[in-house]
Amino acid sequence: MSLLAIEGLSVSFRRYRSPVRQVGVKCVSDISLDVYPGEVLALFGASGAGKSLLAHAVMGLLPQNAIVGGVMRFEGRLLDRKEQARMAGSRIALIPQSVSHLDPLATVGQQLRWAARRARRPMASAGDMQRTLARFDLEPGVSRAFPHMLSGGMARRIMLAMTTVCQADLIIADEPSNGLDAENTAIVFRWLKSFAEAGKSVIVISHDLAATLQIADRVIILRDGYVAAHEHADAFDGDGKRLLAPYARSVWKALPQNGFAEVEA
Amino acid sequence: MTMAIEKPAVAAPWINNAGMVVIGAWIAALLLAAIVLAAWLTGPDGLTSNFSARLQPPSWLHPFGTDMLGRDMLVRTVKGLALSFQVGIVAAGISVVIATCLAVVAASGYRLADAIVSFLVDMTMGLPHLVLLILISFALGGGTGAVIVAVAITHWPRLTRILRAEILQLQNAEYVTVSRNFGNSRWFIARHHFLPHLVPQMIVGFVLLFPHAILHEAGLTFLGFGIEPSKPAIGILLSESMRSLTAGNWWLGLFPGLMLLVAVLCFDFVGNGLRTLTDPRGSQQ
Amino acid sequence: MKLAASSVGFSFNGQSPVLEGVDIEIDGGEIVGLTGKSGRGKSTLGKILARHLFPTAGKVLIDGAPYGGQGFNPVQLVHQTAVFAANPRWKVGRIVSEACTPDEGMCRTLGIRGEWLDHYPHELSGGELQRVALLRSLTPKTRFLIADEVTSMLDPIAQREVWRALIRICAERNIGILAISHDLALLEKVASRTVWL
């Protein structure tokens, strides 16, 4: 059974076109997907394709003017507002895009403790804190630092630590390679893979196809809010002949590694 | 199967935040126009005493009743509001000008200028409002002009702070650096990049200052430090009505007070609404 | 034309230097890659070359002479977060015409859609804004473009289109491009040589 099942999800926004008129702007249409335990599902697409919106819809983080349609189920149970409030931060965790999502006025250690408390698994001792940090190659002293003092790589690792602290079953990573160089990206992706290997479900949202393919099992490509392709990760290989959707093939060939090539229609 | 669809809870598409503010703005504008027009049209005739019609409660002939000299209260109230509006507009306008100039000086980059302006802001905000107003009005000998000056020079601090912060933020904006790198002059940048951000703040500042100024004018006049008693300011009307309170002439105080309240609330509502609307990101409400 | 940084150093407010004794040269018509570990100062160097920041040591020279500072700066910078480089109260149409009226060919090359011109910056996606920023900076007077992670937010197809356009523009107008990126595969494809910080 899938851990998370999404059927026909659509997200629109009420926006003001002029001082008085409101229109509905459709951003995500008719998305259906399943995520199973122990796998990494990659959500790939250009910026504006709706990937982050999907993550926010699952977590219940959409702004007030959002209109959501469709059904979401977590472990078979309907994921409505009440269920989202229970699950978010404890069973479903989101690793946000940037360090600016951390509280700038609290130290890293405090925020880790809060995350643990929110998930109803409070840290018993300083030893817990040290162990959590050490798992991500972070010195114990980091717990006294403020978010703005952290480098991009360290900040990303702190956010990964916050995820492990709440021991979620579904982890959604929103653009985990943003602002990181190749080395740090590889480290972060390895950690995400280790979550899946431990039996969790991981959804990786990224526009960096090459890095994501290193760890993904399946890939869903979004385009302008629609699902344009649904592929197995190992089909992204060589010439891309095994890819089912033409769009997926175009995207694969367009990578600089594959020669910036164009696919004949 | 149950669908977890959430429909937006809106009755009609135009009854939304922005719509309410536009409606409010129209009402305010009409009110302003009606009052000024009425005051101008009735002329001094409406204020002639008519001793045979003294202290009459509201009736068809005199919807707001008459006062102790037989003058129609509706006419007096309308004229009073018109006068208050004039005072309010001028005072609020001068305040906005003072605030803008001081904000520009403070954000000019000279530490001393900033320190001086900030000190003035803190000092003016720290002194008790009403006391300052009375002192200044008294020192200038009372009258309409004194009230305008008193209100104008005590109400600029809040707007100055807002504008100063806005200018400082703008100076560091990346698009300003880009514009400079395009070879655009300081005047171009001030006019095309800074002004579009500042003007909405100035307008909002003005619309919010305006009811404030009217209230202060009414208060000062009520206390006797403001406009001359011969002119029908709202403050005068209210202070006169106080004397007749125990005699049971309720209409003398109710109608002027109510009209003042309606006018102030109207502009306050519009001002607050404008403040939310002037942010272009406010389209996502 | 030649853009050069000579012994450039930079530190924030007396803290330990982000850049120290850096030399780099870009000729008109060539694409030079710049890469290195994050935090090494690549973006800072880019900003110094484009006069968004002033070096605490060393000089930036154009054809051997320091740039006067008046008029149009021939070195333009476009970087990853284009949304902050746009005045939120200006419509996109006005933004792209700030330096000069963009020509049709350039619009098409960069994939700019006409309907964008009527929108505000926050209504466009990151990728769309990126193209707008590039269009604005590529004026006839531009001689050098510092492209700091300009395509890292774009999907592979859009990235290819933009770089194809940039390579063409670079050749046609003899503009020198400094491509700052973490993506080594990309730099290998577009740059004639790569400098490591």
More confident site: B34 or C139: C139
* Cβ within 8 Å, pair C153-A153: no
CA distance to partner chain C, nearest, from residue A260 (Å): 6
Tell whether the model's pLDDT for residue B14 goes beyond 50.
no
The token duo for A121 is 């698994």
Confidence of residue C77 (pLDDT cuts 50, 70, 90): very high
Helix (H) or strand (E) holding B17: helix B17-42
pLDDT at position B62 over 50: yes
Question: What is the per-residue pLDDT across B188-246, written as a single tens digit (0 to 9) for each?
Answer: 888 888 888 898 889 888 888 888 888 888 888 888 877 777 777 788 888 888 877 78
Quick one: residue A10, left, alpha or beta (phi over 0 = left, psi -120 to 50 = alpha)? beta
d(CA A144, CA A108) in angstroms, rounded, equals: 6
- pLDDT bin (cut points 50, 70, 90) of residue C180 is very high
Task: Give me the residue spans of the domains in chain B.
Answer: 22-38+74-279
Give dist(CA C144, CA C161) in Å, integer.
20
Q: Which residues are paired to A93 by β-bridges?
A: A171
- Of the listed ranges A127-131, B224-228, C69-73, the least confidently predicted one is B224-228
Cα B109 to Cα B112, B156, B187, B271, distances in angstroms: 9, 21, 16, 31
Residue C125 has pLDDT above 80, yes or no: no
Residue burial A40-53, b: 16+ Cβ < 10 Å; e: rest? bbbbbbbbbbbbbb
Nearest in space to A179 (alpha carbons), one of A207, A210, A139, A221: A207
Q: Which of A107-121, A171-185, B157-171 reaches the highest mean pLDDT? A: B157-171
Pairing of β A201-206 and β A170-174: parallel
B35-44, B103-112, C117-126, C138-147 — most confident range: C138-147
Top pLDDT among A131 and A15 is at A131
Label residue A19 by pLDDT band (50, 70, 90): low
Whether B186 has its CB under 8 Å from any CB of chain C: the answer is no
Chains with 3 or more CB pairs closer than 8 angstroms to B? A, C
Most confident range (mean pLDDT) of A177-181, B175-179, C102-106, C109-113 is B175-179
Closest C-chain CA to A27 = C125
Our CA angle for B276, B281, B284, nearest 5°, is 85
pLDDT at A66 over 80: yes
Q: Which CATH superfamily is domain B22-38+74-279 in?
A: MetI-like (1.10.3720.10)
Predicted local confidence at residue A182, as pLDDT: 78
* C6 CB-near residues (< 8 Å, 6+ apart): C23, C58, C59, C60, C61
In this prediction, residue B11 carries a pLDDT of 41
Specify the pLDDT at position B34.
Answer: 79
User: Cβ contacts (< 8 Å) between A185 and chain C: which residues?
Assistant: 182
For chain B, what percentages of helix, strand and coil (3-state, to nearest 5) are there?
Answer: 75, 0, 25
Tokens 């600016």 map to which residue?
A100
Helices (H) and strands (E) in chain A, counts: 8, 10
Bridge partners (DSSP) of residue A13 are: A25, A66
Q: State the pLDDT at residue A63.
A: 80
Test B285 with A21 for CB contact under 8 angstroms. no
Neighbours of A127 (CB within 10 A): 10
Selecting from A182, A184, A254 the residue whose C-beta is nearest the C-beta of C156 gives A254
CB-CB neighbors (< 8 A) of A210 in chain C: 185
| Number of alpha helices (DSSP H) and beta strands (DSSP E) in chain B | 11, 0
- Ramachandran angles phi, psi of C27, nearest 5°: -95, 155
Average pLDDT over residues A72-90: 85
pLDDT tops 70 at residue B9: no
B254: Cβ–Cβ under 8 A, 6 or more apart, which residues?
Answer: none
> A158: pLDDT confidence band, cut at 50, 70 and 90?
confident
Band of the pLDDT at B279, cuts 50, 70, 90? low
Comparing alpha-carbon positions, the chain C residue that sits nearest to B177 is C52
What's the rounded Cα separation, in Å, for the pair C74 and C68? Answer: 11
CA-to-CA distance for B93 and B210, rounded, in angstroms?
8
Of A164, A163, A174, A1, nearest to A74 (Cα)? A1
Q: Which pTM does this prediction carry? A: 0.76
Most confident of A102-106, A244-248, B116-120, B231-235: B116-120
A263 falls in which pLDDT band (50, 70, 90)? low
CA dist., res. B141 & res. A265, Å (int): 87
Element (H, E) at C57: strand C57-62
Q: Record the tokens describing residue B189, joined without a space.
A: 């940048």
Q: Is the Cα dihedral A174, A175, A177, A180 positive or negative?
A: negative
Candidate from A20, A64, A72 with C-beta closest to B18: A20
The answer on pLDDT for A117 being more than 90 is no
Coil, strand, or helix at residue A139? Answer: coil
Predicted confidence band at B1 (pLDDT cuts at 50, 70, 90)? very low
Taking an 8 Å cut-off on Cβ atoms, the answer to whether A70 and B14 are in contact is no
pLDDT score of B3: 33
Rounded to an integer, what is the distance from CA C52 to the centroid of its chain?
11
DSSP-assigned letters across all residues of B129-157 = HHHHHHHHHHHTTSSHHHHHHHHHTTS-H
Domains and CATH numbers, chain A: 36-56+85-258 (3.40.50.300)
pLDDT value, residue B16 = 56
Which structure tokens are listed for C8? Answer: 């450039």
**B283 — pLDDT class (breaks 50, 70, 90):** very low
Give me the mean pLDDT over the A48-72 stretch. 83
Stretch (H or E) spanning C75: strand C75-79
Q: Is C40 within 8 Å of C33 (Cβ atoms)? A: no
Fold classification of C2-196 (topology level): Rossmann fold (3.40.50)
pLDDT digits (tens, 9 = 90+) for B105-162: 888 778 899 999 999 999 999 988 888 888 998 898 878 888 889 989 998 998 999 9
Q: What residue ranges do the domains of chain C occupy? A: 2-196
Res. B45 pLDDT band, cuts 50 70 90: low
Retrieve residue B144's tokens. 């309409």
CA distances from B231 to A5, A168, B62, B144, C163 (A): 75, 74, 20, 10, 75
pLDDT at B233: 79
Counting residues of chain C whose pLDDT is more than 70, the rounded percentage is 98
Work out the mean pLDDT of chain B and round it to a whole number: 81
**pLDDT grade, residue C145 (50/70/90)?**
very high
Query: Which chain A residues are Cβ-neighbours of C81 within 8 angstroms?
Result: none
3-state SS class at B195:
helix
